[in-house]
Every structure is written in structure tokens, then in C-alpha cells.
Amino acid sequence: MWRACADKPLRPMPMIVLEHSRDRRRVPNPFDAPPSFPILPLEQAWQTAQDDLAALVPHTRHIIATPSSHYIRLDQPELVIRSIRTVARDS
């Protein structure tokens, strides 16, 4: 990803970034990490990485899957399917 950052913005292309919930009350441990694991620093790094990824390609849709944990495909499969279809259709 760092090489892509150096060349940004990349050419426009269909892209959707799906990110798990940022609401710690709703999803306190989105990664299913052990209770002793420091979730907050990991979560902050993850959010920054998702924001950076979405910024690489102009007009990228960045969707926060509000009720989902890290496993969006399990928590919201229809969102994942819809996103894949959108990208495929717009390609």
C-alpha cells in the first residue's frame, strides 16, 4: 500500500471500502481479540488504514458497516454482495 500512496491518487476505478462498526458500544471487540489485547491502538490503526485506502482512488465509496464486527461478510452478507455487484457493474 505504501507504494500506491506515493503514486496517489490512482486512476479512477470502481472501488468500495467496507469497514466494520466504529461504535465501541455496539461492537466493543470487532476483532474477537482476547480480553487482555489492547483493542484501542489496533482499532485506531485500522481506522486510519481504511481511511487511507479509501483516499487512494478518486470517488471511492467508504462504507461503515455500522452493526458489523470485523466479519462483515458474516454480519451483513447482503451489503458485501451489493458492494461486489456495484463494483462489477461499474467496471
C-alpha distances in angstroms, 41 versus 22, 26, 38, 52, 53? 13, 18, 6, 17, 18
As a whole number, the mean pLDDT across the chain is: 90
The domain ranges of the chain are: 2-27+36-90
Q: Where are the alpha helices (DSSP H) in 1-76?
A: 2-6, 39-55, 72-75
What confidence tier does 82 reach under pLDDT thresholds 50, 70, 90?
very high
Predicted TM-score of the model (pTM) = 0.83
For the chain, the C-alpha Rg in angstroms (whole number) is: 14
Distance CA 89, CA 91 (A): 6
